[in-house]
Structure 1
Amino acid sequence: MKKMNVMRFVLLVTLASLLTIGCAKKPAPTPQPTKAPATEPLKQTDSGMQETDVEGAGSYTVSDLTRVHFDFDSYVLTSATRKTLAQNAEVMKAIPGLKVRIEGHCDERGSDEYNLALGERRAQAAMNYMTTLGVSSSRMSTISYGEEKPLDPGHAEMAWAKNRRAEFVAK
């Protein structure tokens, strides 16, 4: 009888352990964009960027903000990328009320998790450089879309090069 109780106990512990191990784990949450209230009325332009009505903006408009591209598996800013970011910084300085979201993107190669992290590093690198050029970080936010929003849906190097980018979207 005592041996039977021990066997039941061992069986119950084993069964409970197997059930606990077999439970599904929750998937990692996807990053959400930082939300900030819009300060100016926005309208969509042909270029896909948003145009804003700001007095004293001079000769710059939001459509002057230009995307930047990155090398494969990299978030390093090339000299061409730095030049484009400097132009974007000038646009933001000329339009004091402008706030932007910098969206990091990747090509389809690599895991979803890796590409989300790389996209975030690309957006952060662009934001950090623009901060060194005098744009307040409070006027910029970042988000990564990884490989989820390709500019070119192709599956070759030419398409992948277009998809490795950071976009500037007015908020």
Structure 2
Amino acid sequence: MMRSSRLLLVVVSSSLMLGACKKKTVAPAPTPAPTPTERAPERTTPRATPVDTMAAYNEKVAAARMRLLETIYFEYDADELRDDAREALDAKIAILNVNPGLRIRIAGHCDERGSDEYNIALGRRRAEAAKRYLTDRGIDASRIETSSFGRERPAVQGTTEDAWSKNRRDEFEITAGGESLKPAS
């Protein structure tokens, strides 16, 4: 009998312990709907993760670099800037303004028609026209160097107007400050 009372005591005490450990859950009170005078809490958009932000920034830097290096083109036997060239130069100005340590080189090129001397001079005038446009709009002249290759470095081989039109150009090169390039707004 002693054994059965001990067993009974163990069972009863275990039941009491388990019952006491059981957590009671209380249902949360429902949140009241906002009254017409109350404003519902504003929802916030999730913030971009640093990886997304860095990737977007790097894309902007790459786009700025591409814009800065974009070639401009000229009409036959001319050193006057076309409208599309002015637009491209305006985009370069924005980038140059944000990057005061940036330095560039403008190389003028020509098609194969004309003498070597004439084409070297025309290429120089084309590069100087682009430089003048930039400096007239506030870019320091000491940040821009010019050169001319005349007809010596064609972008496209051929003796058609299409090939020649692609060879009448100014090419841009970053000579300093490109490693810390910042995009324009």
TM (norm. structure 2) is 0.59
- Spell out structure 1 runs of 4+ moving beyond 3 A: 57-61
CA distance in 1, matches of 2:59, 2:136: 23
> Could you tell me which residue of structure 2 aligns to residue 99 of structure 1?
103
| 1:88 counterpart = 2:106 | no
Residue 58 of structure 1, CA deviation: 10
User: What secondary structure is seen at the aligned counterpart in 1 of 2:134?
Assistant: helix
2:171 to 160, 167, 170: 167
For residues 5-154 of structure 1, the aligned pairs below 5 Å read 59-60=60-61, 61-65=64-68, 66-154=70-158
Sequence identity percentage: 44
CA distance in 1, matches of 2:104, 2:59: 18
CA distance in 2, matches of 1:151, 1:95: 29
1:127-160 CA-partner distances (Å, limit 9, x unpaired)? 0001112111110000000000100011110000
* CA spacing shift, 1:58–1:130, aligned 2, 3 Å: farther
Are 2:71 and 2:172, in contact at CA under 8 Å, matched by a contact in 1? yes
User: What secondary structure is seen at the aligned counterpart in 1 of 2:146?
Assistant: strand
Are 2:67 and 2:88, in contact at CA under 8 Å, matched by a contact in 1? no
Amino acid corresponding to residue 67 of structure 2 in structure 1 = D
Are 1:58 and 1:94, in contact at CA under 8 Å, matched by a contact in 2? no
Residue 90 of structure 1, CA deviation: 1.2
Are 1:105 and 1:165, in contact at CA under 8 Å, matched by a contact in 2? yes
Give unpaired runs (5+ residues) of structure 2. 1-57, 176-185
Give unpaired runs (5+ residues) of structure 1. 1-56
Q: Which has the larger radius of gyration?
A: 2
Amino acid corresponding to residue 168 of structure 1 in structure 2 = F
CA distance in 1, matches of 2:96, 2:127: 16
Are 2:108 and 2:171, in contact at CA under 8 Å, matched by a contact in 1? yes
CA distance in 2, matches of 1:162, 1:152: 7
User: What secondary structure is seen at the aligned counterpart in 2 of 1:107?
Assistant: coil
1:55-75 CA-partner distances (Å, limit 9, x unpaired)? xx9944322211100000000
CA distance in 2, matches of 1:112, 1:91: 34
RMSD: 1.7
Q: How many residues align?
A: 115
CA distance in 2, matches of 1:154, 1:160: 7
